[in-house]
Amino acid sequence: MPKATFPDFGLTASERREAVRGHYYEYPGMDGDRGEIWCYSDRFSYFPGDAVTLFISSTASTCDIDIVRDGGVETAATTIGGVATKWQQSPDQCSVEGCGWQPTHSFTIPSDWTSGAYRLTLKATGKDGAPIVSHHLFILCPSPGDRAGRLLQIAATGTWTAYNTWGGSNHYQGITGPNRDKYATRVSTQRPWWRGFAVLPSDAPRVPLEIETPPATAPRYPHMEWAFATGHSKKYASSGWASYDSHFFRWAERTGYGIDIISQHELHFRPEITEGYDCIVCVGHDEYWTWEMRDTVDAYLEGGGHAARFAGNFMWQTRLEDEGRTQVCYKYRARAEDPIYRNGGDVTRATNSWEAPEIGRPGAMTFGLNATRGLYAGWGGCAPRGVRGFPVYRPGHWAFACTGIYYGDLLGGDAHVFGYEVDGLDYVIRNGLPEPGGEDAYPEGLQILALGMTSLVEESADIAIEDQFLTDEDGRFVAETLYGSRSDENLEKVKRGCGMIVNFPKGKGEVFHVGSTEWIAGLIKQDAMVERVTRNILDRYLATTADGS
């Protein structure tokens, strides 16, 4: 059962407000007299035999680097001792331009390292004699070989990049613009990850509230309060390896599945990477995609592949520049500022919501659902006391076999798998069952299996606007995107959303989409029904059972 009181992280009321409202971030020199060490690599992902180049800035003259493969069992890969380091200056707008550091160390990935996420722990001695530590992570893609019966997980690197707070700017907040208060429309991959990206303690709060918010109580955000209190990034719980992608990869290996992993950049630059796989998997918070990434997935599905998407918030089109080292997304400011609109470019590539009519490629046509009909559940003032799991409407579907699920059951409620951002679709109810309908485009043959309520607007007659974090800004943006203006009338059309589980055929292939960022919480908490449904999907798409049961 949900707890009745908010957790206390030792913050004052003003500090709690700063934790939510403030713009705090990682930057070079932030630890002052103690000293610090930071690291990034030249790429997100590599193949066996590739050279990895590390860029390190440190107040210490040397560091040691431990590398482990972060899988079902954490496995030591190598230790690199006595790396010579120095402090390297960063430009003020390093979030946008990249840090521009000189290379520090390079090593070649051995041919026998297996696909996975490799976590680097950099250790040195601080100015006060105490240890200083930082973490980095890169993805090792699979070697060529037999891929039948193996899963291919696609790490949400577009969303990782969008949320990275290091240096001050990301696609949400920033230090750009004449007043240094604008989010960045362009962000660089050539900078360290935020604190909490690669490693987190097990008790770090997730975004959805684990308490039952009392009526007429101002919303609280425990994950941001914890971040402020412990020195982690404000966005640690919104994206990243430690909060999302890692949990599925570890669970899959522990459960007995053969699994490889790639970054989204492989979908963009190496579309052949999916060949030979029976099932690709998307996990967690997976919000930002390029046109080319979608092309790769669509072609894979049309050719007979299967996609299991245990993820939510399919929202924004991005562009990649500088060989993938810069991600562009104008988002809310796209129609006013994206050069494509002003310079007569191909407007279908505008970095706006996929649902913007001029883009002409609704999100549901790839994954069956879209973010504009879904979004917020179980955090802030958006459906704060709503369902925490998926209400099931079609229990006879093959995905629910051997679960004992009935019509009306709440799937994953104890684990809170419904939230914090979910994907939905316009729908109608016929004979007590939801069916796709209304204004949204959707794939032929789509079935809605489960459906819960969400909101795009924090609505309360009892809570002052200054105590609301989300307010109605996202709702008015969606209203303008879909209907041409931010009017109250158009807001009424979009402010009530939904989250869904859907299944549909696509060409010779098939898609199963659990439209929630938090499905992963059911695997973390070992929810038996969530695990069984996950296995039903994967086993069907792999045409084999992982452990013979």
- pLDDT band, very low/low/confident/very high, at 497 (cuts 50, 70, 90): very high
Long-range contacts of 437-445 (CB under 8 A, 24+ apart): 439/482, 440/362, 440/364, 440/370, 440/373, 441/362, 441/364, 441/365, 442/364, 442/365, 442/368, 443/364, 443/365, 443/368, 443/504, 443/505, 443/506, 443/511, 444/504, 444/505, 445/504, 445/505
287 within a domain of the structure (yes/no): no
Question: Directed axis angle between helix 246-255 and helix 528-542, to 10°?
Answer: 70
Q: pLDDT tens, 15-43?
A: 999 999 999 999 999 999 999 999 999 99
Token duo for residue 98 = 């990249």
Record the tokens describing residue 190, joined without a space: 């050539």
Residue 382 lies in a domain: no
pLDDT number for residue 317: 98
Domains identified in the chain, total number: 2
Which of 478, 494, 510 is at the close of a domain? 494
Residue 219 pLDDT > 90? no
Q: Which domain holds residue 465?
A: 461-494
Task: Evaluate whether residue 332 is within a structural domain.
Answer: yes
Helices and strands: H and E segment counts in the chain? 14, 25
The yes-or-no verdict on residue 544 having pLDDT over 80 is no
* pLDDT at position 200: 98
Tell me how far apart the alpha carbons of residues 75 and 394 are, in angstroms, rounded to a whole number. Answer: 42
- Residue 408 Ramachandran class (φ > 0 left, ψ -120 to 50 alpha, else beta): left
Q: How confident is the model at residue 458 (pLDDT cuts 50, 70, 90)?
A: confident
Q: How far is CA 106 from CA 40, 41, 68, 101, 103, in A?
A: 12, 9, 17, 14, 8
Q: Is residue 351 part of a domain?
A: yes
Residue with tokens 């990895």: 52
User: For residue 528, is it within any domain?
Assistant: no
Spatial distance between the Cα atoms of 116 and 76, rounded to a whole number of angstroms: 13
Domain end position, chosen among 338, 361, 384: 361
Tell me: pLDDT of 398 over 50: yes
Quick one: pLDDT at residue 547?
44
The mean pLDDT of 136-147, rounded to a whole number, is 94
In a domain, 140, yes or no: no
**Which amino acid is residue 61, in one-letter code?**
S
In a domain, residue 539? The reply is: no
When pLDDT is averaged across residues 523-527 and rounded to a whole number, the result is: 98
Q: Is 340 a domain residue?
A: yes
CA dihedral sign, ordered 454, 455, 461, 464: positive
Tell whether the model's pLDDT for residue 213 goes beyond 90. no
Show which of 361, 390, 420 is a domain's final residue: 361
